[in-house]
Every structure is written in C-alpha cells, then in structure tokens.
Amino acid sequence: MNLIILSDTHIKQGQSLLSRLSGELISIIKRSDLIIHAGDFETLVCYNELNSLGRLVAVHDDTDSSELMKLLPERKVIKVEGINIGIIHKGQLTSENTDGLCYLAKEMGVDILIFGHFHHPIVHKSEALLLSPGSATVPGIAQASAIGLEIKNKSVTGKIIRCLDNSCTYFEFQCSV
C-alpha cells in the first residue's frame, strides 16, 4: 500500500492548498492509496481540498479551525497491512531528542508514529519508526517536503520528498517494523 504523509500545511482563509503544492507532489498524492495529514491544516477548505484528492486520514492541532477540531481527533491509530500507525500533531516540543516520541509510540501501541509540528522532515528508527513529513507549504528554513511510504509484507520503504517550484527530489530509506 502506498501512503503519502503531509503536515503543517497552514492554509489561511481565502488561500488554496492546491495552488501552493508542486504539480509533481499533487500527482503523487493522487496516486497514493492513503493520504495521512498530521494536523495544522488551519481551514476546513484546506482539509476538503486534500480530501478531494483521495482517501484521507487526519488529526487536528491547535491552529486548526473549530470545525476541524470537532471533525478530527487529536490522535489516531490505524492499521495498514498489519502495521499499527499512530498519528498525532505535537508529540513533543523539541525535535532534538526523540525520547518523548519513542515513549508516545509505545503508549499508543504503534509500529510507526507520524507527527508534525517541526516543519522539517524527520526519520528516526528506534523500537518504532518515527516520521515527521515537514511542511509542503511553509517549511521555514527547510525545503518544502512530504514523506511517501510503501508498506508491503511488514516492510517499509520510504522517501522524503523535497519540492521546489514544480518538481521534487527524493531521499529513500527502508526498514522492517
């Protein structure tokens, strides 16, 4: 199963998510079996735009509108190809040490923990695979990014997708969970 992971899109009222994403990333999203968003859409319009591209699983965070906070949970666990995947926005306050995220993954009983908040991609393997896709729209000092995953036979192959203008580059990784 192919997944695309996004977070921290921060689309304000009157803005369009699709106008801020590269054409190549939109194509990747449309080809994915599942879209995961780890919070901070900000507007229901942004959520609806992403939802129109495919099957979407998402959580909310503190910058999301009240409609999204009612619609989406703060954290969620799903099962994909026998692998438990946890989704949360703010797993801890700093990205310098992943100990808090490791404990959170254990608490949630997941093999993969997807989180946002930091606006730069993070891939860390400990007892669980920790993944932060960064931000595809407001990366700050990092480059716009997302993460693509393929889960097959309990094996995870992934890539950090970095986008600039209308094209993307990739950094690939693989692990068993």
Cα–Cα distance for residue pair 35/126, rounded to 1 Å: 24
* Domain parsing of the chain, residue ranges: 2-176
What pLDDT tens digit does each residue of the chain (177 aa) get?
999 999 999 999 999 999 999 999 999 999 999 999 999 999 999 999 999 999 999 999 989 999 999 999 999 999 999 999 999 998 755 567 788 899 999 999 999 999 998 888 999 998 999 999 999 998 777 889 999 999 998 889 999 999 877 778 888 888 777
The answer to whether residues 107 and 113 touch, using CB atoms and an 8 Å cutoff, is no
Q: Residue holding tokens 């959580």?
A: 59
Please give the CATH architecture assigned to the domain spanning 2-176.
4-Layer Sandwich (3.60)
Prediction pTM value: 0.93
Q: Phi/psi class of residue 117: alpha, beta or left (left: φ > 0; alpha: ψ in -120 to 50)? A: left
> Can you tell me the distance from the alpha carbon of 45 to that of 48, in angstroms, rounded to the nearest whole number?
5
Neighbouring C-beta atoms of residue 116, cutoff 10 Å: 25
- What ranges make up the beta strands (E) of the chain? 2-6, 34-37, 56-58, 75-80, 83-88, 112-114, 121-125, 129-133, 144-152, 155-164, 167-176
